[in-house]
């Protein structure tokens, strides 16, 4: 879909504010997580809509330089989309996109998934060492709401 069409779809969706009242409630779930000096921010677009909802997810991870170097820049990445589908990358080597003001390495992980049935889905992201033997470095979740067509 072109950027222009995507913008028009977004404007049309925003203009249908009453549509949200017809579907399942989407409670705000914190999408920022911290653990042992590692920070995770989960985001996605769109997080609500009529089926099928094809959501693009991004997990932005900020971690100390030493943690990044200890694993050689490679991690195990796991997504659970809440509808029975999963995505696993056991040895995903990534280059930092930047360093934050605290000197932490900033990494980005991406996933895309279509949701076909109405309902609210909890999508989980988990980052582990590349050999899968160590503890989870960080884990978080974000919700996606698929509205029922003609509901209300």
pTM: 0.78
Residue 131: predicted pLDDT: 83
> Beta strand 38-45 with 32-35: parallel, antiparallel or unpaired?
antiparallel
Q: Which CATH number fits domain 3-146: 3.40.50.300, 2.60.120.680, 2.60.40.10, 3.30.1490.20?
A: 2.60.40.10
**Paired strand residues for 77:** 89, 127
Residue 19: predicted pLDDT: 35
**Pair of tokens at residue 102:** 């605290």
Low-confidence ranges of the chain (pLDDT < 70): 1-30, 150-152
| Structural domain boundaries in the chain | 3-146
Could you check whether the bond before residue 103 is cis, i.e. omega within 30 degrees of 0?
no
Map residue 12 onto helix, strand or coil. Answer: helix
């Amino acid at each position: 879909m072109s950027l222009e069409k995507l913008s028009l779809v977004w404007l049309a969706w925003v203009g249908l504010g009453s549509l949200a009242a017809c579907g399942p409630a989407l409670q705000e779930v914190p999408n920022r997580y911290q653990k042992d000096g590692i920070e995770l921010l989960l985001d996605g677009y769109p997080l609500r809509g009529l089926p099928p909802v094809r959501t693009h997810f991004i997990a932005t991870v900020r971690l100390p330089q030493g943690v990044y170097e200890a694993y050689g820049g490679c991690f195990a990445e796991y997504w659970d989309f809440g509808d029975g589908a999963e995505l696993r990358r056991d040895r995903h080597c990534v280059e930092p996109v930047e360093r934050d003001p605290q000197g932490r390495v900033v990494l980005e992980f991406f996933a895309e998934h279509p949701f076909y049935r109405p309902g609210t889905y909890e999508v989980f992201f988990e980052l582990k060492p590349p050999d899968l033997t160590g503890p989870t470095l960080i884990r978080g979740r974000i919700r996606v709401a698929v509205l029922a067509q003609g509901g209300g």
